Structure 1
């Protein structure tokens, strides 16, 4: 069990790093990050660092989760969000507190089983988790107010842009050795791309396992 003071320190660090949305900060303080990692690493749960979750994957550092979430909640509507790369479900859970429905895709079966049980245990009932290749998105459920990718594609995933609603945002890391967080906003038939900051994510892979 972590103290309120531990979580408050994390929030203050995030605020000092430029996270200013109070709704996002409140959710970060509320979500028990230690529940998403192995018990042996629980003493590091509220450090601002990524941690291994098995299967060659990681839980993103709280700063990048907060940063991507802050970008996500600035859309006109918060009804339908697509997350590609569920992992352990931490980002999923944060999004579930701020959006009506979270559709989330994970390609690794072991993570799907663990995360489905975890989300149920935590009472997250508005996240729809599926075991699939997320690289093509979910065109049958589009449009989405936000598409958020939690693994780095080698190139801009242009096939996902058409699945955005008007005013929607695609938030994603791109690159191989050198990675960059970017955002594409849909404004009618126009798309505005922003380059945001350097990041470090596991690679986005196709197929399922």
Structure 2
């Protein structure tokens, strides 16, 4: 049987890493073989693209350049890791997927929908996650948490207004898709984990 693809999404500081670990443990307890991935990244070539995207270049990085790099890395990950794992019946847990591009580049960078859709058609060809857990956090709170982890990368330095637009797009898209579950990530992490566990157990059943 084909495996399932579960994605964890959210702004910086939303708590994705701990939630991903929770999801992996729950799936393994349910007898699933689990593979984890991240975007951008997840393969040697895609990890190199990740470094390129996050690097603080002295030159201006065009919004479209950033977008195309994201989708290029995504295609590499799909072809080399996600598709093979799913075909083998493994469950894949992803740290970000296309919803990030729709929110960050589409919402935050204001790239038009036609451009987004064209790249999606080329790289994903209609492929979508089976379930997405969107951890919704106030941008100010999330950025404060991210700063507590250390130095911010190029995207994390995009400014509060950028992240407010990104969050607004996340919420807009989540409201339109029943496969995207919104979790309040402003609350204490124990409560976030409890909410995630409830949604995940219902999905597994």
What TM-score results when the alignment is normalised by the length of structure 1?
Answer: 0.28
Structure showing the higher strand proportion among its residues: 1
Structure scoring higher RCO (CA < 8 A, sep ≥ 6) equals 2
What TM-score results when the alignment is normalised by the length of structure 2?
Answer: 0.29
Structure showing the higher helix proportion among its residues: 2
